[in-house]
Amino acid sequence: MRNRNGFTLVEMAIVLVIIGLILGAVIKGGDLIDGAKEKKFKAEIDQLYTSYYTYIDKYARVPGDDDKASTRWTGATNGNNDGLINTTTTTPASTVDEQSNKTGALDHLRRAGMLAGTVDTASNHVSSAYPGVSMNFGLGTSTIWGRNSNLIIISGLSRENARDLDAKYDDGDGTTGDIRGFTAAAAADNYTTNYSYSAYRLR
C-alpha cells in the first residue's frame, strides 16, 4: 500500500476552488446586502419626495410653508406661503438651511397623514436603511443652485454611500446636479473629508 504524506496537486486545487467559491459567495452576499440597503434608502427619499408633492396637490401649499396649517390642525405652525421651506433666521446665512428641523415641513406632512412619525416639528425623519442617518427639508439658495430650491437634507450619510447615491441617481459630482454634498458651513462639497450633508433638490 502506498503511503500518502500530504495532499496531491489535484486535491489542493479542489480545496482552493472550494475556498474561492466560498469567498466569492461571501463577497457577493455583502454586495447584495449593500445594494438592498441603498435601494431601501432611495425608497425612503422617494417617500419624502412623493409626500411633498402629494401635499402640494391636495392643499395648494408647500409643506412647512403652508400659511393655513393652523386652521387645519391645532398646534401646527404656519409658514408664509412664499413657496420656500425656510426659517426666519439662519446663522451663518447658508446654502443648506441647517435649521430645517424648525420649518414644520415634516410636521405638516405627518399631520396630513402623508408621512409616518410623531407629530413634532423638531423630529427628523430617521432612516431604517442606514442607522444614524436622518432626513428633513430645507432651502438651497440661488447662489449655489441657480434659484432658490426646496431640498431634502440628508444628515449622517457616509461619504461612500453619498458618492454611490450621487453616481447612481444623479451626475456623480457632489458640487453639481440635483444631489450634492455640503460642508457644515453649507458650501458645496464633493464628498471630501469636510463633507457633512447631502442635499436632494425638489424640482
Determine the average pLDDT of the residues in 75-89. 81
More confident residue, 122 or 67: 67
d(CA 163, CA 170): 10
Determine the average pLDDT of the residues in 134-155. 88
Strands 125-126 and 179-183: unpaired
Specify whether the CB–CB gap between 189 and 199 falls below 8 A: no
- Cα 175 to Cα 163, 171, 183, distances in angstroms: 11, 10, 11
Q: For the chain, give the mean pLDDT.
A: 83
pTM: 0.79
C-alpha cell of 72? 387645519
d(CA 194, CA 196): 6
Which pLDDT does position 167 carry in this prediction?
94
Which pLDDT does position 91 carry in this prediction?
41
User: Which range, 32-46, 81-95, 158-172, 182-196, is most confident?
Assistant: 158-172
- Sign of the alpha-carbon dihedral angle for 51, 126, 199, 83: positive
C-alpha cell of 150? 426646496
